[in-house]
Structures are given as structure tokens and as C-alpha cells.
Amino acid sequence: MIENYNIPFWIYLAVVSLFVGGAMKKILACHLSVGPTLVAWLGATVLVERLWVVCLPAMLLLVLLAAMGCIYSRSRTAQLPNLPAQGKAVFITGKRSDGGEGLSSLDLQGCATIGTLLESRGDKKSSAVAGGLWGLVNNAGVCVNFGEAELSLMSTFRGCMEVNFFGTVDVTKSFLPLVRQAKGRIVNISSPAGDQPFPCLAAYGASKAALNLFTETLRHELNPWGVRVSTILPSSYKTATSTNHAYWEQQHKLLLQSLSPALLEEYGEDYMTETKDLFHSFSEHANPDLSPVINTIVKALLSPQPQARYYAGPGIGLMYFIHSYCPFSISNRFLQKLFLKKSLVPRALRKQSGLDMNLGLHNNNNEEKLQQL
């Protein structure tokens, strides 16, 4: 369906078409300039040139029509009224302290929200089964690592995967019969870290990458049943866990105690402390207003034609555009400047850099002495 694509994709297609066409013309021109042995190619070259003159406007017209169709489809969808929310039971996972409380505003839309999973697993699940279920919002998630993959404990990788991926799979499989029967909605809250390599978030990002693939597969599998599945990718928001300094200090001490002396020496305690402080600063400056995410969840639940993916919060669309269409060097630098602005490098690299500098000065002095002789 054309509504699953966005305008930047068609712009990208047009640019690629122009680039490929220009490259073909240059290649043919190079072949013709080699010598008379390629005169036989002249007829084919003229034909390609003529086809290029005809195909280029046609391709640009196709891209223009596709973009117009995309805009028309989106505008038509926006004009359609939301689905009636009265009587629709929605189960929401996650802690109230990490946004679950704000999600109770779905009650104002007419949906009957059924608690949060991490606070009362058994009671809420039984009440959902008893009252029927139409929507499922997998909002539960944890981010417990703040360091390079080499420094992250295996328990950190397993913890992130257990909650962010296996927990979502478990809840979804438990409630799928009810959601299928109601031809309802499933909304999974993921993260851009599951699509883009954020520094020092390997464990968290890997769990969200697994969640993204599971959600996309589920979307295809449940489409014939009339169940719509969406992924929401929020920007950085302030939650109770992310701003709990005592918790992060405890995790930091545990990390220092668990590392081998050799690894601690190579990275340096000051390097890891700076990483922890940068995480604190990043979480402190995060957006405390969760309304963009909540409004997007409501849209994904009640829209007559929900999108496969939603970007919730400022800057997410730009981030994905840079990641998808810009050269790797640009997108990589953008992520580093956006997330953690580190001033230190690991201690071993600092020593190596100092050694290289001393060797360079020593070699320069030797060259000067040789020139004097």
C-alpha cells in the first residue's frame, strides 16, 4: 500500500534514478572515447541516449504521481473519523511510575484501560480475560546499561532481553486469542535504539531490535485476521527510573566491582564515570511531558487505518531521515553528537596516543641531527 511509504522515499528514488542514469551516460561516453574498436557500440549508445531522454521525464512523472498519491492517501485517512472507543477494553503493560499513569488518560477517550502488568500480573490478566479484550499496549521496558558492549555485564544483556523482548512476546501470545476474536489492535512501544547504533546502548538496542522484528512479523501475520499492529518510536522522555540517581549509582558501583582489573585498567575508572555522568545529564534534560507518546498511542489504537510505525516526539523524523538517506559518516557523527558528547577516551588509548606523540618527537629530533651532520 502506498500509504506505508513517505515522501522522502520518493525523493530518494528520484535522486538515485538521476545518479544511475548519469553514471550510465558517463560509462558509455568512456567506452566511445577508447577508440574505433567500439564504433559498433554507436547504434546501441544512440538508442540508450534516446531511451534515457524519454525515460527520465516518465520516471520523474511517476515519482511525482506517487508522492501526490501518498499525500492524498494520508489526507483522506486524516479525514476519517476515529473508531468508537466506548466499551473497548485495552490492556497496558508497564509501571505507572514510567508512564503507565499517563496512559490511564485513555479512559477519557472512552476506552476501558485494564491496569498495568508489572504491578499486578495475575489479577489484571484475569480481569482482561473476564471482560474481553480489544487492544494491547506493550509499554513495559527497561534500560539498565550505560557503557560499551565490552563493559556491559551478561546479566545486563539478559535483563534487557527478558523484559523488552521476551516479556512482550509472552504477554502478546497470552492475549492474542482475545485480540484476534475482537479484530482489535496491538501497539508496541519500541525505541530508535533498536534501529540505530546508539553508543553505549548495545544491550538495550539489541532487545529493541528483536522487538521491532517481532512486531513487523506479527503485523504481516495478523493482517488477514483483521488485527492491526503498530510500532511507536518515541524520543527521549523523562521517567522515574531514568532519573533515579541512587539506582544508577548502585549500578555503576556494581559494574566497577564486576570488571576484571585488566579491563578496568584499559578503560579507566574516570572514563566510565564520565559515561555515567553523561547518562545522568541526558536523562535530566529529557522531556517530562509524555503527552506526545500518549496521543500517538491513542491514534494507533483508534485510527481507522493505523500506520505501521509512528514517530512520537520532536526530532525523531529528522533522525530517521539522516539515518536512512545520508552517508554513514554523517549519520554516525550525528548520533555521537546527539547522544553522548564524551571528552575522554579509554586510558589505554590515551597512553598509546602519548607514546605515539613521544615517538614522533624523537624521530623529528633524529632527523634534525642528521641534517646538521
311 burial type by CB count under 10 A (0-12 exposed, 13-18 middle, 19+ buried): buried
92, 117, 139, 255, 266 from 244: Cα distances, Å = 23, 21, 19, 17, 29
Q: Grid coordinates in use for 108? A: 477519557
Closest alpha carbon to 188 in 310, 77, 74? 310
Alpha-carbon torsion (193, 196, 202, 207), positive or negative: positive
CB 188 within 8 A of CB 231: yes
Q: Do residues 135 and 180 make contact, with C-beta atoms less than 8 angstroms apart? A: no
Q: Please choose, from the candidates 145, 138, 133, the residue with its C-alpha nearest in 3D space to the C-alpha of residue 203.
A: 145
DSSP count for the chain of H helices, then E strands:
14, 6
| Closest to 294 in 3D by CA, of 84, 128, 94 | 94
The closest of 281, 256, 251 to 343, measured between CA atoms, is 281
Given the residues 5, 12, 72, 204, the one annotated as active site: 204
Please give the single-letter amino acid code of residue 149.
A
Is 320 known to be catalytic?
Answer: no
Residues 6+ apart with CB under 8 A from 298: 106, 109
Spatial strand order of the sheet with 89-92 comes to 112-116, 89-92, 135-138, 185-189, 228-234, 309-312
Catalytic annotation, residues: 204
